[in-house]
Amino acid sequence: MGNAAAGVVTDLAPSGVLRAALNLGNPVLVQGTAATPAGVTVDIGREIAARLGVPVEFRCFTAARDSFQAAVAGEADISFLAIEPARAREIAFTAPYVLIEGVYAVPVTSQLSTVDEVDRAGVRVGVKQGSAYDLFLTRTLRHATVVRGTEGTSEFVSGSLEVAAGVREPMTEFVAAHPGYRLIEGRFMEIPQAVGTAKTRRGETIRFLHEVVEELKASGFVTDALRRSGQTAPVAPPA
């Protein structure tokens, strides 16, 4: 795929700079600091900007909800978010470029042993407020209670909750560092990560983003970016 058409450039980067919102709270997608971010989303953001022929400016946030709000408010031109119905009302998503798993952690003494057993009365699940798994569990749990905080594991520990929910990679690190906890085998959700932009963009612009993401998956660009940043999450299949 070549460079973007002029209409796409002015629509997606009207200021002459592509403003990309990054979520530093997801270590699968971004590593480093706001001053020196790195990772697969940084690489994709730079590549999209190169296709547009403009510089890229990274706007870093510590939570997905803040990255989402920046895109909705027009403070960012693109964002890197999990596809979620609650977000799709305002954000146009590409197909996913990487798949992440949502998993549960429990105390080692817990009698909960399967994902399905979590959804029962009296079970409190700690989540990061506004995360994809917060939105998903809020929508799907029928009996368990969702407890929101700045970090699901923090709420889990400080509140002596029955369960913590989170992304597999940081949750694996959490239980490794805290011997009193373990992961429940399996996943409670698959979290498809995609490039998003405001739904007010032109159809041509949304198609451009979709095509770039598909090309970057097919060429091995996304695979290479994930491996360079030490991540093992799988690349999403072709759309």
Range of the domain at 161: 100-189
Q: DSSP letter at 4?
A: P
Residues 11, 94: one domain?
yes
Residues 30, 85: one domain?
yes
In a domain, 236, yes or no: no
In a domain, 223, yes or no: yes
In a domain, 222, yes or no: yes
In a domain, 221, yes or no: yes
Q: DSSP letter at 89?
A: T
Residues 94, 200: one domain?
yes
pTM confidence score: 0.87
- List all residues 6 or more positions away from 158 whose beta carbon is below 8 Å from its beta carbon: none
Residues 83, 35: one domain?
yes
Q: DSSP letter at 116?
A: G
In a domain, 121, yes or no: yes
Cα–Cα–Cα angle for 17, 35, 211, rounded to 5 degrees:
45
Amino acid 167: pLDDT = 93
Amino acid 37: pLDDT = 97
Amino acid 152: pLDDT = 79
Asked whether the beta carbons of 158 and 147 are under 8 A apart, the reply is no
Amino acid 154: pLDDT = 87
Amino acid 60: pLDDT = 97
In a domain, 237, yes or no: no
Sites in the chain below the pLDDT cut of 70: 1-2
Distance, CA of 119 to CA of 116 (rounded, Å): 6
Amino acid 141: pLDDT = 98
Amino acid 3: pLDDT = 82
Residues 209, 184: one domain?
no
In a domain, 235, yes or no: no
Structural domain total, the chain: 2
Which CATH number covers residue 140?
A: 3.40.190.10
Residues 62, 78: one domain?
yes
* pLDDT (tens digit per residue) in 67-107: 999 999 999 999 999 999 989 999 999 999 999 999 999 99
